[in-house]
């Protein structure tokens, strides 16, 4: 039996006496860290499946009504996390000596009855139907915005990546036009670069830089993220932005006059008379062929948006490091506690409980904090624990934190994000998103080897997970980060890939994400352990994590 199974089965005191130790970790010189030291084994042993289950059951309970930002349910969930961290003896690291960092939000929702979209074709003008054919993005800046009879250019994936040998915009002028693009990015791109160029924000920025006035996006029929009813229901809940000290939202651009998501019924109308059929355009994109052409049709779009202010906050606690020179540097762990609150009813249920997304990640961060707090001597670096708001609405809580940190910005050396790590079978292998970009890859490899866990490549690159959780806020500020998810090895006859696909198609972002699922809480405990160990290595070693030479994200955001 390797340490991984031993730690799951034995109580902390027995683990501490069973694991061999050569020296106290705090006394070990850099490069000779002893993960078999008794205090490390004891810290791993305080993490239990029962504790993960208990936290998740509280956070995903109907009484918290889906934890929507600004709601009493969110306040209850954030308060629970705060009380747990305080109870561990961790210090407040929020504002004014508290555990809280205020995150002022603006909630923007489309007034559907006053919003519309129509397409001019050679046969006449077609008024599209809201929800059936399209839905619009709320404008965070203005109450009303309009596009009238504008030309449309189809721009493939809407990706310009010359360094990767790909540019959809090479042969098209989109000045004054509405650009229409497929969701996703070329499959030939490396996994995380593919994720970056799949981002709607990246695509919108590129389109506006080239003079476009609006955007329209649609999904290929076989895209696993095409769940029209689910996506449309989510859009009805609007969008959030955080506000700066002057009350300005962090998102929204004056040049963008409208943004729409299209069902295939609308796509067919827009492609009438086009130089290529929709099917041929999708086939070319699937084959990795850059493409762009003007459509014969023209589009009008009117968006009316209602705004309201929302009070929300992040929870921030810290364990101060033990080294006089390194204690002013921070390893950070983050999980979002928000979900979608009460939304569109599905099969008689309107509460979006978010048990896996992300009561699980918040629970794991609380258990990582318990492990650190149990150490007789803190690690050399300090450790920050963040439970953040409004991740589901664009990574807002974590983005607000990195833009307005409660510690000096240069003091944050590494980040770990815990977000629905996949708790439906034992943790046999992990996919550490971000490992190939920085020296953190070596740290997670050491931790995984110690636990007897394999490391594998991204099994679902089409889901572009690298940009979809709070670690990416830190990466955009040049801070190396890891997002550790479970691989698909189950250890038995079950197909981990099929389980993942079923969850994402039937449960993810619906009211069915509740505690009655077949969770493996032992996997949750193991996720806490591998994240703890990886962070502990970084918190103990003298060198700061660094971007790998020539890395794409290091060059893009880290100045490398």
pLDDT score at 160:
98
Q: What is the CATH number of the domain that holds 320?
A: 3.40.630.10
Chain-centroid distance of CA 429 in Å reads 20
Q: Do 370 and 404 sit in the same domain of this protein?
A: yes
Q: Do 213 and 234 sit in the same domain of this protein?
A: yes
Q: Do 323 and 179 sit in the same domain of this protein?
A: no
β-pairing, 313-319 with 100-102? antiparallel
- Please check whether residue 465 is in contact with residue 458, taking contact to mean a CB–CB distance below 8 angstroms: yes
Phi, psi (degrees; rounded to nearest 5) at 399: -65, -40
Tell me the pLDDT of the chain (560 aa) as tens digits.
Answer: 333 333 333 333 222 322 222 223 333 433 458 999 999 999 999 999 999 999 999 999 999 999 999 999 999 999 999 999 999 999 999 999 999 999 999 999 999 999 999 999 999 999 999 999 999 999 999 999 999 999 999 999 999 999 999 999 999 999 999 999 999 999 999 999 999 999 999 999 999 999 999 999 999 998 877 789 888 988 999 999 999 999 999 999 999 999 999 999 999 999 999 999 999 999 999 999 999 999 999 999 999 999 999 999 999 999 999 999 999 999 999 999 999 999 989 999 999 999 999 999 999 999 999 999 999 999 999 999 999 999 999 999 999 999 999 999 999 999 999 999 999 999 999 999 999 999 999 999 999 999 999 999 998 887 878 888 999 999 999 999 999 999 999 999 999 999 999 999 999 999 999 999 999 999 999 999 999 999 999 999 999 999 999 999 999 998 75
Q: Do 423 and 481 sit in the same domain of this protein?
A: yes
For 450, the domain range is 57-103+312-486+493-557
Quick one: 324 exposed, middle or buried, by C-beta within 10 A (0-12, 13-18, 19+)?
exposed
Tokens of 75: 């306040």
Q: At CA 210, angle to CA 207 and CA 211, rounded to 5?
A: 90
- Would residue 34 count as lying in a domain? no
Evaluate the CA torsion angle 470, 67, 357, 85 in order and state its sign: positive
Cβ neighbors of 76 (< 8 A, separation 6 or more) are 63, 64, 67
Q: Do 170 and 71 sit in the same domain of this protein?
A: no
What Å distances lie between residue 257 and 129, 146, 151, 175, CA to CA? 20, 6, 13, 13
The domain tally of the chain equals: 2
Claim: this prediction has a pTM higher than 0.75: yes
Q: Do 281 and 150 sit in the same domain of this protein?
A: yes
Of 308, 340, 356, which residue constitutes the final position of a domain?
Answer: 308
Cβ neighbors of 301 (< 8 A, separation 6 or more) are 116, 117, 136, 146, 147, 150, 178, 214, 257, 258, 260
pLDDT score at 230:
86
- Would residue 43 count as lying in a domain? no
- Would residue 2 count as lying in a domain? no
Of 308, 335, 366, which residue constitutes the final position of a domain?
Answer: 308
- Would residue 39 count as lying in a domain? no
Give the other-Cβ count within 10 Å of 252's Cβ. Answer: 19
- Would residue 32 count as lying in a domain? no
Q: What is the CATH number of the domain that holds 198?
A: 3.50.30.30
- Would residue 10 count as lying in a domain? no
Q: Do 533 and 546 sit in the same domain of this protein?
A: yes
- Please check whether residue 131 is in contact with residue 345, taking contact to mean a CB–CB distance below 8 angstroms: no
- Rg of the chain (C-alpha set): 24
Q: Do 232 and 370 sit in the same domain of this protein?
A: no
- Would residue 97 count as lying in a domain? yes
Q: Do 77 and 127 sit in the same domain of this protein?
A: no
* Tokens 């799949």 -> residue: 198
Of 280, 308, 336, which residue constitutes the final position of a domain?
Answer: 308
- Would residue 23 count as lying in a domain? no
């Amino acid at each position: 039996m390797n340490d991984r199974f031993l730690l799951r089965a034995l109580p902390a005191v027995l683990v501490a006496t069973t694991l061999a130790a050569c020296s106290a970790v705090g006394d070990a010189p850099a490069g000779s860290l002893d993960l078999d030291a008794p205090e490390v084994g004891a810290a791993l042993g305080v993490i239990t499946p029962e504790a993960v289950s208990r936290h998740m059951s509280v956070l995903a309970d109907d009484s918290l009504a889906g934890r929507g930002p600004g709601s009493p349910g969110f306040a209850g969930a954030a308060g629970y996390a705060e009380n747990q961290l305080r109870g561990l003896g961790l210090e407040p690291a929020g504002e004014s000596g508290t555990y809280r960092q205020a995150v002022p939000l603006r909630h923007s929702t489309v007034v559907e009855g006053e919003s519309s979209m129509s397409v001019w074709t050679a046969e006449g003008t077609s008024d599209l139907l809201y929800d059936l054919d399209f839905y619009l993005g709320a404008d965070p800046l203005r109450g009303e915005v309009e596009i009238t009879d504008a030309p449309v250019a189809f721009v493939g994936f809407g990706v310009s990546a010359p360094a990767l040998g790909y540019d959809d915009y090479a042969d098209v002028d989109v000045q004054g036009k509405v650009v229409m693009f497929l969701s996703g990015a070329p499959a030939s791109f490396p996994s995380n670069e593919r994720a970056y160029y799949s981002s709607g924000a990246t695509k919108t920025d590129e389109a506006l830089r080239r003079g476009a006035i609006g955007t329209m996006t649609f999904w290929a029929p076989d895209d696993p993220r095409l769940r029209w009813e689910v996506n449309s229901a989510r859009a009805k809940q609007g969008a959030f932005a955080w506000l700066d000290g002057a009350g300005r939202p962090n998102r929204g651009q004056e040049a963008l006059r409208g943004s729409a998501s299209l069902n295939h019924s609308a796509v067919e109308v827009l492609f009438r008379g086009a130089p290529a059929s929709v099917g041929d355009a999708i086939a070319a994109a699937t084959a990795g062929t850059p493409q762009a052409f003007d459509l014969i049709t023209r589009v009008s779009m009117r968006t009316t948006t209602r705004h309201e202010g929302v009070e929300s906050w992040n929870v921030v606690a810290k364990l101060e490091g033990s080294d006089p020179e390194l204690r002013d540097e921070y390893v950070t762990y983050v999980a979002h506690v928000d979900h979608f609150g009460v939304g569109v009813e599905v099969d008689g249920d309107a509460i979006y409980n978010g048990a896996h997304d992300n009561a699980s990640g918040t629970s794991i961060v609380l258990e990582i904090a318990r492990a650190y707090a149990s150490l007789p001597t803190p690690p050399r670096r300090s450790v920050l624990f963040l439970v953040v708001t409004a991740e589901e609405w664009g990574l807002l809580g974590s983005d607000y934190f990195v833009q307005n940190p409660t510690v000096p910005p240069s003091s944050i050396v590494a980040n770990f994000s815990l977000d629905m790590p996949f708790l439906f079978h034992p943790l046999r292998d992990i996919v550490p998103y971000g490992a190939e970009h920085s020296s953190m890859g070596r740290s997670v490899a050491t931790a995984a080897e110690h636990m007897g866990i394999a490391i594998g490549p991204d099994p679902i690159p089409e889901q572009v997970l690298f940009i979809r959780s709070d670690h990416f806020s830190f990466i955009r500020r040049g801070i190396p980060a890891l997002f550790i998810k479970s691989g698909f090895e189950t250890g038995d006859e079950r197909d981990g890939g099929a389980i993942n696909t079923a969850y994402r198609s039937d449960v993810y972002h619906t009211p069915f994400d509740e505690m009655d699922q077949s969770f493996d809480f032992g996997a949750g405990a193991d996720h806490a352990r591998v994240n703890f160990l990886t962070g502990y290595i970084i918190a103990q070693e003298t060198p700061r994590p660094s971007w790998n030479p020539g890395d794409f994200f290091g060059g893009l955001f880290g100045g490398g």
